[in-house]
Amino acid sequence: MPHLHIVIPVYNERQTLSPCVQRVIESPLPPGWNRRILLIDDHSDESHYHAVASLAESIQQAGQDLTLHRHEVNMGKGAALQSGFDIILKGDPPDDDLTIIQDADLEYDPSDYPALMTPIIEGRADAVVGTRWGEHRSYPGLKAKTHAWGNSVLTRLSNLMTGYRVSDMECCYKVLPVRVLKRLRPMLTEKRFGIEPQIVASLSRLKARVVEVPISYEPRGLAAGKKIGWADGMRAIYVISRERFRPMSTEPPEPASRQVGDH
């Protein structure tokens, strides 16, 4: 039976982590799929980590497939994702298992999982990227419009360098089959939020077929603990430009199975 491996980076998100994980547990999946949850605590403060560890223990005791890993020092979201990917691959999962990135701040809705997984399950894509922007969502307020504009600038630059035509390169939701993750992982080096453009650029180097899927989104601001700032935007521009000049792969991923959900 195939699994969706859900990697959740955590850093001082005690208030939102529990409801986030509960949403993940309750989220629908395509028929025949199970979930495996992997929490990567990026060395939260001791009081926060105590809450994370207690939550993990209670979920494990309830019979849920959940693993908790903690960094010895704070390293950044990109480092947390790389740790999560390494743990998944160390378990030698089947190539048709899927991985998804899930932020712990309640901005993203796990009920979108089936829609995000379907293009890969049906063999139409090698990877899926969510999009928060477009006709399915309005932009109320100046802050939301500014956020969307800044994201659009980075995404257009990324598209120029990769040849993709996505509308939200920075979206947290990225779905990768294990067969693609195995080839992608050695290319990932960014420790912080530069991991987002690096994942997309690396998919381009693999000549992976990327499909974009509209998702739900409830943004929060700096007052609620938003960690991304202007310096991360500048780093994203640097990463996008740097990745353009790395060697390109000429070997595309193996075709996705059309019967993954039936295994």
Give domain status of residue 258, yes or no. Answer: no
170 in Cβ contact with 151 (< 8 Å): yes
Domain that holds residue 122: 3-250
Cα–Cα distance measured from residue 209 to residue 105, given in angstroms and rounded to the nearest whole number:
29
CB burial class (10 A; 0-12, 13-18, 19+) of residue 9? Answer: buried
Vertex 85: Cα angle to 98 and 67 (nearest 5): 90
Confidence of residue 251 (pLDDT cuts 50, 70, 90): low
Q: Give a yes or no: residue 126 inside a domain.
A: yes
Q: What is the pLDDT of residue 148?
A: 57
Cα separations in angstroms, 86 against 18, 79, 109, 182: 24, 10, 25, 9
32 residue type, one letter:
G
Domains of the chain: total: 1
**What are the structure tokens assigned to 171, written together?**
């979206």
Q: Considering the domain boundaries, does residue 262 fall inside one? A: no
The set of residues, in sequence order, having a beta carbon less than 8 Å from that of 86 and lying 6+ positions away, is 185
pLDDT reading at 144 higher than 70: no
Whether 200 is covered by a domain: the verdict is: yes
User: How confident is the model at residue 230, as a pLDDT?
Assistant: 61
pLDDT tens, residue by residue, 194-231: 999 999 999 999 999 999 999 999 886 544 445 566 67
Coil vs helix vs strand at 4: strand
This prediction has a pTM of: 0.87
Q: How many residues does the chain have?
A: 263
Residue 152: is it exposed, middle or buried by C-beta count within 10 angstroms (0-12/13-18/19+)? middle
Q: What is the CATH number of the domain that holds 34?
A: 3.90.550.10
Each residue's pLDDT tens digit, 160-194: 999 999 999 999 999 999 999 999 999 999 999 89
Q: Is the pLDDT of residue 111 over 60?
A: yes
